[in-house]
Amino acid sequence: MSPLRMNPLSMNPLTGLYGAATALRNGLFDRGWLTSRRLQRPVVSVGNLSAGGSGKTPFVIALGELLKARGIRFDVLSRGYRRKTRGVLVVDPDGNAADFGDEPLLIARRLRVPVIVGENRYEAGRVAEQKFQSQLHVLDDGFQHRSLARDFDIVLLTERDFEDRMLPWGRLREPLSSLARADAVVLSAGVGADHPALRQKPIWRIARELVLRSLPSAPIVFCGIARPEQFFAQVRAAGIVPAAEVKFGDHHAYDLDDIQALVSTRLDRPGAGFLTTEKDAINLPSEHHRLEPLAVARLKLTLDDPSDVVGTILARIAKRKLRS
């Protein structure tokens, strides 16, 4: 008698419930029973299907640099995940992650454009339109935030997404079929584009590069991001042999105990320095000087055809404006 074969999804009923709730919510929006509010300026959304780790923040920065190069004024709307404040706030680039969230603060520092955080992205956009002369809004992590109407949806996919499962069994917030709503899909170089969900979708290719400066030899590498193994692999691929690898939870807010624990890690490694990510550096407390020498790795995304990216977005916005 052959062994019983079970559907892996049946092993976690919460996955089925989550998927059903997601499908119901999307269906209500698709049929117009739930409505999306529209801002006066166009909205370009950057999002993904999975719970973190696809490179949304570096892509927002890369897209922002392209828009700035074209002389297009824009702002960035973000939730401000894990901030300790409430309501709509304009990010102060000299502020801290506790008030604004680590990713909005990083975007504000890198792009030097208005970044507005708010649980309600529509209200954040209204504040942006009252305060700034932006020509368009970039919506950070916006694919699932359907209560705000958007004019162009960009979705970043990782190779893992093609075989992953829905939360909480896997990391997917939506199934691959949701890509039907996307205007463009972003894939890393080398990731196949033959999945049926990608048919007739513009595919933009990106190359990822770690920018490393003043790197200590054999550093202790640490991070608190969604996919720490990916960062560790990138470090090793750059020819760096870590003295140790230490991981924390995503968006980790480091405290003095964490600093002490990291310092203790190098007790048997005299002279060892540290290496971390840009997002982690923003989350470090003032006592981070105890980690010197400390190097910060910057993830740089390069698009294969950047002029086509901006041109496609602007053409789609203009076309939709004519229809309205």
Q: Give me the helices (H) in 167-291, please.
A: 228-237, 256-265, 278-282
What is the pLDDT, as a whole number, of residue 129?
A: 98
Spatial separation of the C-alpha atoms in residues 57 and 43, rounded to whole Å: 17
- Written as one string, the DSSP assignment of 126-185 is HHHHHH---SEEEEET-TT-TTB--SEEEEE--GGGGG--BTTTSSBSS-GGGGGG-SEE
What is the pLDDT, as a whole number, of residue 130?
A: 98
What is the pLDDT, as a whole number, of residue 324?
A: 67
For the chain, strand residue ranges (E) read 43-48, 74-78, 89-90, 115-117, 136-140, 152-156, 184-188, 203-211, 220-223, 244-247, 274-277, 294-303
CATH number belonging to domain 35-207+303-323: 3.40.50.300
Helix (H) or strand (E) run with residue 99 in it: helix 97-100
238: helix, strand or coil = coil
- Report how far Cα 247 is from the mean position of its chain's Cα atoms: 19
Q: How far is CA 27 from CA 24, 162, 238, 277, in A?
A: 5, 22, 45, 38
Token digits of residue 48 = 């993904």
Task: Please state the domain extents for the chain.
Answer: 35-207+303-323, 215-292
Residue type (1 letter), 268: D
Please, which residues bridge with residue 78 across strands?
Answer: 117
Q: How far is CA 38 from CA 21, 137, 149, 287, 319, in A?
A: 24, 11, 5, 44, 16
Signed CA dihedral, 185, 62, 113, 94: sign only: positive
Cβ contact 179:187 at 8 Å? no
Average confidence (pLDDT) per 10 residues, the chain, 324 residues: 39 79 93 96 97 91 97 97 96 97 98 98 98 97 96 96 92 95 93 90 94 90 95 94 95 97 91 94 95 95 93 93 75
Identify the residue whose tokens are 């520092």: 109
What letter would DSSP give residue 203? E
Residue type (1 letter), 211: V
What is the pLDDT, as a whole number, of residue 54?
A: 87
What is the pLDDT, as a whole number, of residue 10?
A: 45
Token digits of residue 38 = 């529209």
Spatial separation of the C-alpha atoms in residues 13 and 16, rounded to whole Å: 5
Token digits of residue 72 = 């297009």
Please, which residues bridge with residue 274 across strands?
Answer: 220, 294
Please, which residues bridge with residue 74 across strands?
Answer: 136
Classify each residue of 214-249 as buried b or exposed e, where b means 16 or more C-beta atoms within 10 Å of its C-beta. Answer: ebbebbbbbbbbbbbebbbebbeeeebebbbbbbbe
318: helix, strand or coil = helix
pTM: 0.92
